[in-house]
């Protein structure tokens, strides 16, 4: 891109099942609705032709209406791997998290709200090299909006604690959006600072949280030109007022930003 501009990486439309929530969204591509494992190669081929950086898979509780079958999940992962593409699974329930793990996805976004993630699942995520983007800011907002359905933010918080204790890589992400019909709206920008605070509240140290937003995403998403302050790397820098190692909320007190080595005015 142009000097001083951010990088935009994308997965395109996720794999989903006919009858799913995604299938009812306006303009959702029919080619992303997979009736069975035989549809996986064409789905991944179309994403690759679009130049995606990753392949996203919607994983719901197995056996429920609108859930991709285990065989279909595995077929998508195999097809993506053949093309050298990482797979990222949406999974916000324990059974969905386990299904994504069995399918061999590279990453899971969200963390269960329906129950605490079992320690055994957290340990498998760590030993199998899977990384997790728990999006606690979104989980907190969803639990607040849909708590009457039995969704509890305490479960998400405990899940992150279990994953961290097991040594699974935890990355900072928020699922920020203002999409009509979304279960919750999480604001772009401020939500990342809130996410870091929630990660610390869930048991990460401030240093862990800072790494979750810098070096770990660079490593696990294959962005070898960034993620640390070092000669030869892309100079994406944030100057804050305070010491975030002592108080993670200091990251929100932004005084200056450099994007690709270019200072961005207007803060």
Answer yes or no: is 246 within a domain. Answer: no
CATH number assigned to the domain comprising residue 201: 3.20.20.140
Neighbours of 99 (CB within 10 A): 25
Q: What is the pLDDT of residue 27?
A: 86
- Please compute the mean of the pLDDT values over residues 9-23 and round it to a whole number: 93
Nearest to 101 by CA among 80, 79, 132: 132
At 178 the pLDDT is 85
Range of the domain at 30: 22-231
Is 267:257 a contact under the CB 8 Å cutoff?
Answer: yes
Task: Write out pLDDT tens, residues 53-78.
Answer: 999 999 999 999 999 999 999 999 99
Pairing between β-strand 237-240 and β-strand 254-259 as defined by DSSP bridges? antiparallel
In a domain, 264, yes or no: no
What pLDDT does residue 34 have?
98
Q: Domain for residue 236, yes or no? A: no
For the cut 70, the answer to whether the pLDDT of residue 150 exceeds it is: yes
Residue 144 lies in a domain: yes
Assigned domain for 159 exists = yes
Query: Per mean pLDDT, which range of 5-14, 36-45, 84-93 is the poorest?
Result: 5-14
More confidently predicted of 201 and 265 = 201
Q: How far is CA 99 from the centre of its chain?
A: 16
Percent of the chain with pLDDT over 70: 99
The residues that bridge with 33 in the sheet, in sequence order, are 16
pLDDT of residue 3: 78
Q: How many domains does the chain have?
A: 1
The pLDDT confidence band at residue 1, using thresholds 50, 70 and 90, is low
Residue 163 has pLDDT above 80, yes or no: yes
In a domain, 12, yes or no: no
Q: Classify residue 267: in a domain, yes or no.
A: no
- With 0-12 / 13-18 / 19 or more C-beta atoms within 10 angstroms meaning exposed / middle / buried, residue 43 is buried
Question: What integer best gives the mean pLDDT of the chain?
Answer: 95
Q: What is the pLDDT of residues 118-146, one digit of tens each?
A: 999 999 999 999 999 999 999 999 999 99
Percent of the chain with pLDDT over 90: 88
Instruction: Calculate the alpha carbon distances from 265 to 8, 96, 254, 255, 258 in Å.
Output: 20, 43, 12, 10, 9
pLDDT of 197 > 70? The answer is yes
Query: Looking at the domain assignment, is residue 259 inside a domain?
Result: no
pTM of the entire structure? 0.94
Supply the pLDDT for residue 244.
98
């Amino acid at each position: 891109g142009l000097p001083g501009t951010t990088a935009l990486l994308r997965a395109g439309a996720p794999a989903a099942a006919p009858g799913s929530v995604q299938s009812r969204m306006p303009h959702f591509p029919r080619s992303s609705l997979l009736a069975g494992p035989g549809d996986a190669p064409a789905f991944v081929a179309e994403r690759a032709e679009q130049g995606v950086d990753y392949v996203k898979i919607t994983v719901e509780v197995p056996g429920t209406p609108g859930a991709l079958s285990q065989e279909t999940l595995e077929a998508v992962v195999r097809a993506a791997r053949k093309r050298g593409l990482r797979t990222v699974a949406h999974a916000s329930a324990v059974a969905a998290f386990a299904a994504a793990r069995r399918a061999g996805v590279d990453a899971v976004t969200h963390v269960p709200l329906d129950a605490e993630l079992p320690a055994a699942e957290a340990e498998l995520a760590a030993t199998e090299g899977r990384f997790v983007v728990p999006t606690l800011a979104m989980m907190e907002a969803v639990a607040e909006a849909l708590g009457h359905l039995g969704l509890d933010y305490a479960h998400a918080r405990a899940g992150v604690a279990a994953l961290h204790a097991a040594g699974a890589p935890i990355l900072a992400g928020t699922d920020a959006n203002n999409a009509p019909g979304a279960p919750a709206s999480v604001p772009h920008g401020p939500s990342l600072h809130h996410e870091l605070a929630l990660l610390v509240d869930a048991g990460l140290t401030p240093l862990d949280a800072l790494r979750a937003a810098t070096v770990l995403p660079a490593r696990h998403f294959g962005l070898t030109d960034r993620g640390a302050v070092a000669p030869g790397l892309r100079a994406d820098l944030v100057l804050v007022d305070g010491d975030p190692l002592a108080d993670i909320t200091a990251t929100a007190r932004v005084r200056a930003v450099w994007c690709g080595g270019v200072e961005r005015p207007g803060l």
